Amino acid sequence: MHQLKGFGLAIVLLSCGLLTGTAFAQVIPPAQHSSQARPFINTPVKHTLQGTYFSSGNTPTSIPAGYTTYDTESVKCVPTSGCTIEVDSMAELYETGSTTNSWALCAYVDGIGMTPGCYFDGVATKGTGDIATNINTLHVATGAHTVTVQVYTSDATSSLAMFQNVIKVYKP
């Protein structure tokens, strides 16, 4: 009897893991982002912080539909084994017209989408400021790299109200 319960639990856990993986695999349009998605790393590896870069802004700026770069930083990876770059993003989108404006935060290193990717943060609420967060990582080779953070909106009726990004460079 206990073996059957354990087997059933294993099936439930496996099913949840597969469903969770499927949910995380959804990437927003255009299709270019799905080809840049990186696999999940399941094995924890201790990292040592090599540097931290902070950027923020609070000047409302109208943004068009599509992808808009709102932050670009240059970072350097010194260790010969490469580095892991982490981007922690927070942004507020103020919606002025549409009631169906889907939006997302996206991070890239040298034009390559970071893991876990660029996902819809929801539909922006007309007349209010909606806040989204996103944490992404990517392993890179030794050298100089350009980190860009973008906001995606499906409609051209919003403003990027404020943002804060923390970019961390780690040695694995």
pLDDT digits (tens, 9 = 90+) for 42-53: 678 889 999 999
As a whole number, mean pLDDT of residues 138-145 equals 97
91 or 41, which is more confident: 91
Query: What is the Cα gyration radius of the chain?
Result: 19
* pLDDT of res. 39: 54
Region for 22 from its dihedrals, namely left if φ exceeds 0, alpha if ψ lies in -120 to 50, beta otherwise: alpha
Element (H, E) at 167: strand 158-171
Ordered by start, the domain boundaries in the chain are 2-171
Q: Are 57 and 117 in contact (CB under 8 A)?
A: no
Q: Are 165 and 88 in contact (CB under 8 A)?
A: yes
As a whole number, mean pLDDT of residues 16-34 equals 35
Q: Per-residue pLDDT for 142 more than 80?
A: yes
User: What CATH class has 2-171?
Assistant: mainly beta
Question: Helix or strand or coil: residue 21?
Answer: helix
**How far from 22 is each of 17, 18, 19, 26, 131, CA to CA, in Å?**
9, 6, 5, 7, 25
- Could you count the other beta carbons within 10 Å of the beta carbon of residue 142? 13
Kindly indicate the confidence band of residue 33, based on its pLDDT and cuts at 50, 70 and 90.
Answer: very low
pLDDT of 58-111, one tens digit each?
988 899 999 999 999 999 999 999 999 999 999 999 888 877 888 999 999 999
pTM of the model: 0.74
